[in-house]
Structure 1
Amino acid sequence: MSVPALYRGLFDDAALFPPGELPLPEAVPAHAAHRTAWYAEAVGPFLCGAGRLAELRAAVAGPLRVALVLPGGSTQLAPALAAAEGLTVAGVELADPDLPAALAALDAQLPPGAPAAVELPRGEGLEAGLDLLAGTPYRAKFRTGGLAAGAFPTEAELAAFQAACAERSLPYKCTAGLHHAVRHTDPATGFEHHGFLNVLLAAAAGEDAAAAAEVLAERSGEVLARAARALTEDQVTLVRGRFTAFGTCSVAEPLDDLAALGLLAPPAPLEDR
């Protein structure tokens, strides 16, 4: 396999979303190219908001696995599913302050076999939301960045979320801000960004929030790469059972980071085999 199990299906294609905001006529063929590239195993579904599904259907000439992103709550679910007719619904991501209503809507309307994630608000109420999600077929979704400094959780906050999910055997995905593999300060904005490799490795800490926070704070790519290589097959399975995916507006950037760390390499050309 060209793509190690630790990274398979990790990168959901959020090209339409900020900060990338690739025009849809460019984003669709770019996703098709990702799905046929040597690294296709690393690429998850194409993420699309409810308001752009009609435009997406008009732009699609072939099969497309799309995950519906519904920030407007459970009332958006039925109209979005209708608007996605003809597309393969590979997931639903729903944000709703009325969590019981969101769960009821998913139970009643989610297409068979389609996974779903429910975005939970940071801060007060998070633990109660995790309790409601625990034991359901759905994942938690947690925001790890945005267009303002306050949108980025601290190491301690993100670690506490990961540990709380592990305590409840609740899988999760992340969204926003995970542009690179390693924790860093964005030179243009000054924002502190979590690294997706940090988040993966912090998931291995399970219920130990202090250990997870230490991993999230690590800024050495060499240290993180060494830790990633040291994971056993069982640990990789455990980590990916917890942290299932994250949305990225660029599929190329995280792949480039993994390649630079020596964790991912394209197959050798045929003439070199």
Structure 2
Amino acid sequence: MAPVLAGLVDDAGLFPPTALPMDAALARHRRDLAAAHPMLTHRFLCPASRWDELAGRLRPGEERLRVGVILDGVLPPLESDRHVVELVEVPLGMGGRAAVAAVLQRTADVPVPVFVEPVRGPDQVAAIGQIAEWRERDAAAPRGAKVRCGGLRAGAFPAGTELAAFVTACAGLGVPFKATAGLHRALPYVDAATGFRHHGFLNLVLATARAVQGEGPEEVAKCFAEGADVPAALAALPADVAERTRALLVSYGSCSTDEPVEQVARYGLAKGAL
């Protein structure tokens, strides 16, 4: 697996639409750990509100669970003999720049990377600027942004132009980001059951690659409309661009861990293809 796709997918099996029960999500995660596919981060995403439910199921003597915490409650201990929290994600819900500032202040003492999700709208790019300013002030506590690419209603899916504005702002300000929701397949498609148009995760990777090469929002937005040419464009990325791309796009959460692997193989980007 090429660096541009390696370690791209976090395990979000607890979240919709899959929303596995805790036991089933952990069983699947353990199977993935055993298979060790390089496209997966092998990091388990868990809401803080369900931490006790998770902690009670961790087995003594097994490899420590690598966790990403979604901060919807009290932050759990960052480390024990059974787990290690590698990053924290903060969904904001409602609020603008003041909410971002409050989150950054509230998590100031958290020593692991914290990814703050700005509220969609006119303040989103300004919020990324706030995160960039925080990074400059305190390099020991890395902070990043988070973008939501879909959800359970049509309005949760941002337009390509909106995603392009987010990605280019992160690239221009040097703010790494994570993505979540809606990225079920490699390329854009319309879900037959809901009628929602989903973005492709390969399109997001390509958009990030274009942004780190200095392209502006209008050109980057075109990546979200592209289809069949995206795999070939990713295959042609120079090694240094691929490295910078993944330094900016840290990973995305997927409720399925099989589908991204199958999609990459389908489009000829599996082992040895790049």
Find the aligned partners of 1:81 and 1:25 in 2 and give their Cα distance: 19
Aligned residues of 2:51 and 2:76 also touching (Cα < 8 A) = no
SS class of match (1:93): strand
Aligned residues of 2:178 and 2:249 also touching (Cα < 8 A) = yes
Aligned residues of 1:43 and 1:251 also touching (Cα < 8 A) = no
Q: Tell me what 1:27 maps to.
A: 25
Aligned residues of 2:6 and 2:40 also touching (Cα < 8 A) = yes
Relative distance call for 1:58 and 1:162 in structure 2 (3 A) is same
| Aligned residue among 164, 169, 193 for 1:159 | 164
Deviation, 1:41, is 5.3
Q: Tell me what 1:123 maps to.
A: 121
Q: Tell me what 1:201 maps to.
A: 206
Deviates more, 1:24-33 or 1:253-262: 24-33
| Aligned residue among 238, 241, 249 for 1:243 | 249
Task: Give the 4+ runs in structure 1 shifted more than 3 A.
Answer: 82-86
Q: Tell me what 1:168 maps to.
A: 173
SS class of match (2:4): helix
Structure 2 gaps of 5+ residues are: 136-141
Q: Tell me what 1:100 maps to.
A: 101
Q: Tell me what 1:270 maps to.
A: none
Q: Which amino acid aligns with 1:168?
A: L
SS class of match (1:166): helix
CA deviation string 1:229-249 (max 9, x = no partner): 101100101111121111100
TM-score (norm 2): 0.87
Aligned residues of 1:35 and 1:43 also touching (Cα < 8 A) = no
Deviation, 1:33, is 1.7
Q: Tell me what 2:70 maps to.
A: 69
Aligned residues of 2:186 and 2:203 also touching (Cα < 8 A) = yes
* Map 1:1-273 → 2, pairs under 5 A: 3-40=1-38, 42-61=40-59, 62=62, 63-71=64-72, 76=73, 79-82=74-77, 86-96=82-92, 97=95, 98-108=99-109, 110=110, 112=111, 114-135=112-133, 136=135, 137-206=142-211, 207-220=215-228, 223-265=229-271
Deviates more, 1:245-254 or 1:89-98: 89-98
Find the aligned partners of 1:10 and 1:225 in 2 and give their Cα distance: 15
Q: Which amino acid aligns with 1:87?
A: H
Deviation, 1:32, is 1.6
Q: Which amino acid aligns with 1:89?
A: V
Q: Tell me what 2:139 maps to.
A: none
Deviates more, 1:185-194 or 1:93-102: 93-102
Relative distance call for 1:228 and 1:179 in structure 2 (3 A) is same
Find the aligned partners of 2:230 and 2:204 in 1 and give their Cα distance: 10
Find the aligned partners of 1:103 and 1:168 in 2 and give their Cα distance: 17
Find the aligned partners of 1:264 and 1:82 in 2 and give their Cα distance: 37
Q: Which amino acid aligns with 1:15?
A: G
Deviation, 1:60, is 1.4
Aligned residues of 1:24 and 1:56 also touching (Cα < 8 A) = yes
Deviation, 1:40, is 4.1
Relative distance call for 1:7 and 1:196 in structure 2 (3 A) is same
Task: Give the number of the structure whose residues are more often helix, by fraction.
Answer: 1
Deviates more, 1:13-22 or 1:58-67: 58-67
Find the aligned partners of 2:265 and 2:240 in 1 and give their Cα distance: 23
Deviation, 1:124, is 2.5
Deviates more, 1:176-185 or 1:162-171: 162-171
Deviation, 1:4, is 1.6
Q: Tell me what 1:269 maps to.
A: none
Find the aligned partners of 2:149 and 2:183 in 1 and give their Cα distance: 7
TM-score (norm 1): 0.88
Find the aligned partners of 1:211 and 1:228 in 2 and give their Cα distance: 16
